[in-house]
Amino acid sequence: MTNPYPSDKPATPAPWKQPLIYITLMLLGSTLTLVGTQVLSRSPNLSTSTQQTSTTVSALPSSATAPLVPTSNDSFVSQVVQNVGPAVVRIDASRIVTQQVPDIFNDPFFRRFFGGATPMPQEREVRGSGSGFIINEEGMILTNAHVIEGTDIVDVTLKDGRTLEGKVLGTDPVTDVAVVKIEGENLPTVKLGNSDTLQPGEWAIAIGNPLGLDNTVT
């Protein structure tokens, strides 16, 4: 009679399967041994390669600390300012502007309803300032035409604190250039360059007195 309930005893493998299991385990162990030997034999090369890579990376300069210009030229801007700055002047100009009466006050229909009294033209003083630079010892100054527009006499202030009266000699509104002359001794000067020799990408330094702020450098 067959027992309907299974036995709790683990099943014993067949005798012919045991040698096959032993052979498989031996082959697996040999394979792992060969792979480990090859990895260990190559590890010195990997270590050397890692050291070379580290050396190469550490030899490169950091872009965050690299200077924008060569170290030998770090002070070229300050040198230019020291050489050219004293010849840059501030120019203060003032002129009288007359405010015309609107045409509507001369209209007969308007005067009929609001009376015949016509307001008088009003005058007001307009002040402006700008920059210029002395180009020779005779006191010739180049500036912008819009700075001295509408006036013949201006006040010129030098970097050393002297304020001299300047006379407008001529203007060219098309190129926005004007010439002013001052009288003084020991005037600092600056030499004009040649624009034909300029190249794209060269440094440009602006020295002046924008909006009355003296001795600015950009």
pLDDT in tens, 38-60: 555 555 444 444 444 444 444 44
d(CA 51, CA 57): 10
Contacts of 143 (CB under 8 A, 6+ apart): 91, 130, 131, 132, 177, 178, 179, 180
Domains of the chain by start residue, with CATH: 86-192+205-217 (2.40.10.10)
- Cβ atoms of 145 and 171 within 8 Å: the answer is yes
Which of 143, 147, 127 has its CA nearest to residue 135?
A: 143
pLDDT in tens, 108-117: 666 666 666 6
d(CA 130, CA 171): 15
- Cβ atoms of 40 and 34 within 8 Å: the answer is no
Measure Cα distances from 30 to 24, 26, 36, 190 in Å: 10, 6, 10, 88
pLDDT of residue 210: 80
Q: Centre a 10 Å sphere on the Cβ of residue 90 and count the other Cβ atoms it contains.
A: 21
**Average pLDDT for residues 144-171, to the nearest whole number?**
90
- Cβ atoms of 181 and 169 within 8 Å: the answer is yes
Residue predicted with more confidence, 54 or 76: 76
Asked if residue 104 has pLDDT above 70, the reply is no
Longest dimension (CA), the chain: 142
pLDDT of residue 91: 92
